[in-house]
A and B are shown apart, each in its own frame.
Chain A
Amino acid sequence: MKNLYIFILVLFIPWSFSLAKYDEFEDGDDIMEYDDNDFAEFEDVSEDTVTESPQRVITTEDDEEEATVELEGQDENQEDFDDADTQEGDTESEPYDDEEFEGYEEKPDASHSKNKDPITIVNVPAHLQNSWESYYMEILMVTGLLAYIMNYIIGKNKNNRLAHAWFNTHRELLESNFALVGDDGTNKEATSTGKLNQENEHIYNLWCSGRVCCEGMLIQLKFLKRQDLLNVLARMMRPASDQVQIKVTMNDEDMDTYVFAVGTRKALVRLQKEMQDLSEFCSDKPKSGAKYGLPDSLAILSEMGEVTEGMMDAKMIHFLTHYADKIDSVQFSDQFSGPKLMQEEGQLTKLPETKKTLLFTFNVPGSGNTSPKDMESLLPLMSMVIYSIDKAKKFRLNREGKQKADKNRARVEENFLKLTHVQRQEAAQSRREEKKRAEKERIMNEEDPEKQHPCPCLQKAALRREQKKLEKKQMKMKQIKVKAM
Chain B
Amino acid sequence: PPSPGRYKPPATETNPALEDPTPDYMNLLGMVFSMCGLMLKLKWCAWIAVYCSFISFANSRSSEDTKQMMSSFMLSISAVVMSYLQNPQPMSPPW
Contact = CB atoms under 8 A, between A and B. Distances in A.
Interface of A: 125-127, 134-138, 141, 144-145, 148-149, 152, 177-180, 183-185, 187, 190, 197-201, 205, 207, 209-212, 215-216, 218, 225, 227-230, 338
A134 B51 CA distance: 22
Contact of A179 (B2, B11, B89): B2
Given A138-B91, A216-B7, A177 B58 contact: no
Contacts of A177: 2
Given A134-B90, A185-B12, A198-B62, 20 more contacts: A127-B90, A137-B91, A145-B54, A177-B2, A178-B2, A179-B2, A179-B4, A184-B9, A185-B9, A185-B11, A197-B12, A199-B61, A200-B62, A205-B12, A207-B12, A211-B3, A212-B1, A227-B58, A228-B55, A228-B59
The interface centre, meaning the residue of B5, B11, B60 with most chain A CB atoms within 10 A of its CB, is: B5
B61 A180 contact: no
B63 to A, nearest CB: 7
Contacts of B60: 200
A74 to B, nearest CB: 52
Contact of A137 (B4, B11, B59, B93): B93
Interface of B: 1-9, 11-14, 47, 50-51, 54-55, 58-63, 88-93
A290 B91 CA distance: 63
The interface centre, meaning the residue of A141, A178, A227, A338 with most chain B CB atoms within 10 A of its CB, is: A141
A199 B9 contact: no
Question: For the complex, would chain B's binding face be called helix, strand, loop or mixed by DSSP majority?
Answer: loop
B65 to A, nearest CB: 15
B59 to A, nearest CB: 6
17 contacts: A137-B90, A141-B47, A148-B54, A152-B58, A178-B2, A179-B4, A185-B8, A199-B12, A200-B62, A207-B9, A209-B6, A210-B2, A212-B1, A228-B58, A229-B58, A230-B55, A338-B14
Contact of A210 (B6, B12, B92): B6
B92 A183 contact: no
Q: Which 5 A-B pairs have the closest CB atoms?
A: A207-B9, A179-B2, A137-B91, A127-B88, A190-B6
Contacts of A216: 7, 9
Given A205-B12, A227-B58, A228-B59, A210 B90 contact: no
Given A148-B51, A185-B9, A228-B58, A127 B89 contact: yes
Given A180-B6, A185-B8, A200 B61 contact: yes
The interface centre, meaning the residue of B4, B54, B58 with most chain A CB atoms within 10 A of its CB, is: B58
A51 B59 CA distance: 95
A195 to B, nearest CB: 13
Given A199-B62, A212-B3, A225-B59, A137 B12 contact: no
B26 to A, nearest CB: 10
A387 to B, nearest CB: 14
A183 B5 contact: no
Nearest to A182: B9
A190 B90 contact: no
B7 A210 contact: yes
Contacts of A198: 62
Contacts of A148: 51, 54-55, 58
Nearest to A226: B58
Contacts of B92: 137
A229 B57 CA distance: 12
A200 B16 CA distance: 11
Contacts of B8: 183, 185, 187, 190, 209
A210 B55 contact: no
B63 A199 contact: yes
B39 to A, nearest CB: 20
A225 B55 CA distance: 11
Contacts of A197: 12
A152 B7 CA distance: 36
A190 B3 contact: no
Nearest to B13: A199
A135 B6 contact: no
Contacts of B11: 185
A215 B7 contact: yes
